[in-house]
Amino acid sequence: MRGGILLPMPKLLIATNNPGKAAEFQTLLDRCGWELVTPADVGVELGDDEPHDSYAENAELKARRGAEASGLVTLADDSGIEIEAMNGEPGVHSARFLGDDATYQQRFAEIERRLEGIPPANRGARFICVIAVADPKSGNVRFAEGEVRGLIAQQPRGDRGFGYDPIFWIPQRSATMAEVPQHEKDIISHRARAAAPAREILKELLYEHSEADPGYAREPS
């Protein structure tokens, strides 16, 4: 609030072309003091390539690319599923496991083939997410991370979520990630756990930018 006038929220670019992921961030970052926009909203095209061997490097690349193309503070993430009995595969290559054109049903079938005969207790896995927030004003990138541990189900279950959610079994919920209600997923998922510290990063950036320019942001409602 400035001089009795409610100023518009600054825009935060969510650097993803995945509608499911963009929708999750809309919920996870609700009332964070920023107006979330997608590449399509601001008329920029961003590639989906993730050439690096670490989540942080891929997230940073996408965040920097979005910030340079749009001039906006940009948030990007990289995430994956790591399966203990597969030596951590597919990991950072989860989105390209078996090739860019493979369906998730094909990926699930290949994972089950590799885990055939392995008892449930030895089918441990984790989802991990690394978020990068790039600030075009300073050129700095800040990171947040979250993970959730579970098991690989013997067959896909559930129609909520996206990606590997149908085969990620959460023992505490006796359900796969694709079966839990969305409001629960927004608390327990790897992306939710990374979004919590990312909200703090966004608050810091609001403060820093408003210190330099008092008209930069309005008070969050």
What is d(CA 132, CA 55) in angstroms, rounded to the nearest whole number? Answer: 10
Contact 126, 118 (CB under 8 A): no
Strand partners, 82: 90, 126
Contact 202, 29 (CB under 8 A): yes
The pLDDT score that the predictor gives to residue 219 is 43
Contact 125, 152 (CB under 8 A): yes
Q: Which pTM was predicted? A: 0.90
The pLDDT score that the predictor gives to residue 7 is 61
What does each of the 221 residues of the chain score in pLDDT, given as a tens digit? 444 455 678 999 999 988 888 999 999 999 999 999 999 999 999 887 888 999 999 999 999 999 999 999 999 999 999 999 999 999 999 999 999 999 999 999 999 999 999 999 999 999 999 999 999 999 999 999 999 999 999 999 999 888 999 999 999 999 999 999 999 999 999 999 999 999 999 999 999 987 767 656 544 43
What is d(CA 186, CA 34) in angstroms, rounded to the nearest whole number? Answer: 19
The one-character DSSP state at 89 is -
78 is known as an active-site residue: yes
Which secondary-structure segment (H or E) carries 39?
helix 39-42
Residues ≥6 apart with Cβ < 8 Å to 133: 63, 73, 74, 75, 141, 142, 143, 144, 198, 201, 202, 205
Domains of the chain: 11-212 (3.90.950.10)
Instruction: Return the closest-CA partner of residue 73 out of 32, 17, 102.
Output: 32
The pLDDT score that the predictor gives to residue 51 is 85
**Active-site annotation holder among 30, 41, 49, 78:** 78
Helix (H, G, I), strand (E, B) or coil at 91: helix
Contact 193, 24 (CB under 8 A): no
The token pair at 136 is 């075009």
